Amino acid sequence: MRIIGGTFRGRALASVGKGDAGAHLRPTTDRVRESLFNVLMGGRYGDPITDMRCLDLFAGTGALGLEALSRGAIHTTFVETGRKGQSLIRENIALCQCKTETKLFARDATRLPAKPDAPYDLIFLDPPYGKSMGEAALKSALAGGWIAKNALILWEESADIIPPPECDLLETRKFGGTNINFLST
C-alpha cells in the first residue's frame, strides 16, 4: 500500500502482513483509493478535501484519512477499536510525518460520545462488510455532533446501504466487489 497523490505521494505505508483475524482489517486497495480520490478531485463535489477536517471511521490502516491529508485536508481523526489497526495507524502517521495534523481515537465507531470541538466535513466510513455497523456508526456520529452540515460522507460497503434520514444518497460507484456510496448531510 502507498499514498497515491499529493504531498505524501508514493510513500509506502506499513504492511498489514497477516493482520489480525479478529481485527477484520480489509484495507481499501490502492486502485479503489485512486479511483475514489479521482472522483473527489474531479470537481463534481466542489473541492471536498482542501482545508477540510476529515473523520476516518473504522480506519484500519488509516490510508483513506492519510490520503486526504496528503491532498490538502487540514486534519484527520482516525477512529479504530482494533489494536492491530491502531498500531498500523500510528506507524503510518509516523511514516507520513503528520502527527500534528492527526488524532487517533481508540474507540468503537458505533459508540461515539458527544464531540465537543468542531465537526468534520469529509467522512470516510469503511465498516466490516455485511454487519450493519456502518448504519450504527453513522447514527452515532450524527447524534454526537461529529458530522458538519453539508458534509460529504463516503461509505464503503459490499451491498446496498440504508442511509439515515439526515443524509441524502448522492450516488453509488462500483469498484469490483466494492460499492462507494456518496452521501451528504
- Residue 176 Ramachandran class (φ > 0 left, ψ -120 to 50 alpha, else beta): left
Q: How do beta strands 178-184 and 147-157 pair? A: antiparallel
Residue 54 has pLDDT above 90, yes or no: yes
Q: Residue 128 belongs to a domain with what CATH number? A: 3.40.50.150
How much is the pTM?
0.92
- In this structure, of 15-19, 69-73, 179-183, the range with the lowest mean pLDDT score is 15-19
> How does 50-76 read in b/e, with b if 16+ C-beta sit within 10 Å?
eebbbbbbbbbbbbbbbbbbbbebebb
Tell me whether residue 159 is in a domain.
no
164, part of any domain: no
Q: Is the pLDDT of residue 83 over 80?
A: yes
Residue 72 lies inside a defined structural domain of this protein: yes
- Give the model's pLDDT for residue 35: 86
Segment 86-110 shows an average pLDDT of 96
In a domain, 74, yes or no: yes
- Comparing CA positions, the residue from 120, 135, 131 lying closest to residue 48 is 120
Q: Domain range holding 138?
A: 32-154+169-184
Q: Assess if residue 83 is contained within a domain.
A: yes
Any domain includes 54: yes
Residue 19 belongs to a domain? no
Mean pLDDT value of segment 50-58: 96
Domain count, the chain: 1
7-21, 72-86, 167-181: segment of lowest average pLDDT = 7-21
Identify whether 45 is part of a domain: yes
All three cell numbers of 169: 444518497
